[in-house]
Amino acid sequence: MTFLVKVPVSVVIPCFRCALTIERAVQSIIDQTQKPAEVILVDDASGDETLAVLLEIEQQYPNWIKVLELGNNQGAASARNAGWAIATQPYIALLDSDDAWHPQKIEIQYAYMKAHPEVVLCGHDYYFSDETLPRLLLYDTRSIGKNRLLLSNPFVTPSVMIRSSILFRFMPGQRYVDDHLLWMQIAQADLKVVKLMSPLVKIYKGLYGESGLSSHLWAMEKSELHNYLYLYKNKQIGLIVMLFLELFSIAKFMRRLGIVGINKACFGLKRIFDGFHG
C-alpha cells in the first residue's frame, strides 16, 4: 500500500514482547488523516514472536515501515535512540507499542510545529482506553517553562513530537523516567517546550504500571533522583535547586506509596466482603 501524501515525520516505536499490541499501535498510524513519512519499529531483543510479527508488518508496508533489530535488550530509551539514529525526517513522533493515537494526532501536532518553528518539543494530552473519544481543544496550548518541567513530567511519552536535529538524546540504558530527563535537558537549554491540550493519544496502561508494585515505584524514584543529580553535575541546575527537587521528589514518592497501600487495602477488604456475600 502506498500513501500519496505524507508529512515529514518519522515515527519511532520501541518494541519488547509486544506481539499482541503492536498491530493496534501501527493501525492507529495507518488511520491517521495525515500519514508520517516513515515508521521505525525497534525490536529490543524480545526473544519471543515479536520480531516475526514486526517483520510481517514490514512486508505489508515495505517502503514505509522499517524494522530495526537490536542484538541485546537495552530498554526503551536506547531503543528510541536507535530508531532516532536511522530516522530520515526533521520531526520525530514517539509512540509506545501498547498505545494508540487519535486519527488527527499527526495532522494537528505537525501543523502546530510547522507553524511554530521556535518550538523544539511538543507534547499533548491523553485519555484512557475505557474513556469515550474526547472533544479536541484545537486552539488551547500551554508553554511549559523550565521550572515547571523540573517539578513534574507534563507529558506521556507517546504524546511527544520533537525536532530530530536537537543534540540531546534519551539516557542510554536508563529504564525509568528517561523521558522526563530528556524533556528537562531540553528546557534547561532554553529551548521552547509546548503542550497541546487536545487529548491525541489513547493510553492502555496505568501511568505507574498496571501492577502498582512498590518495587517499580522505587525504581522510578531512584531514576528521578539520579536525573536531578545528573542535571546538577552537568551544570544545568544549581546545588540548592537539586537538593530542593530531591526532597520534593521523596515527598511525592512517599505519597504514592501511601496511595498504593490504601488501594491494596481497599481491594483486600472488597475481596473479603465479596467472599462473605458470595
Domain end call among 150, 183, 203: 203
- Residue 185 clears pLDDT 80, i.e. is over it: yes
Q: What is the pTM of this model?
A: 0.89
Asked whether residue 199 carries a pLDDT value surpassing 70, the answer given is: yes
For residue range 143-158, list pLDDT tens digits in order: 999 999 999 999 999 9
Q: What's the residue count for the chain?
A: 278
Q: Which domain holds residue 251?
A: 214-276
CATH code for the domain of 45: 3.90.550.10
Who wins on pLDDT, 261 or 35? 35
Report the 3 state secondary structure along 131-187: CCCCCCCCCCEEECCHHHHHHCCCCCHHHCEEECCCCCCCCCCCCCCHHHHHHHHHH
* Cα–Cα distance for residue pair 98/271, rounded to 1 Å: 29
Residue 1 forms part of a structural domain: no
57 and 135 fall within a common domain: yes
Instruction: Flag the least confident range among 35-44, 106-115, 203-212.
Output: 203-212
In the predicted model, is pLDDT for residue 208 greater than 70? no
3-state class (DSSP) for residue 268 = helix
CA distance 61 to 3: 10
Q: Is residue 55 part of a domain?
A: yes
Based on the fold, state whether residues 161 and 36 are members of the same structural domain.
yes
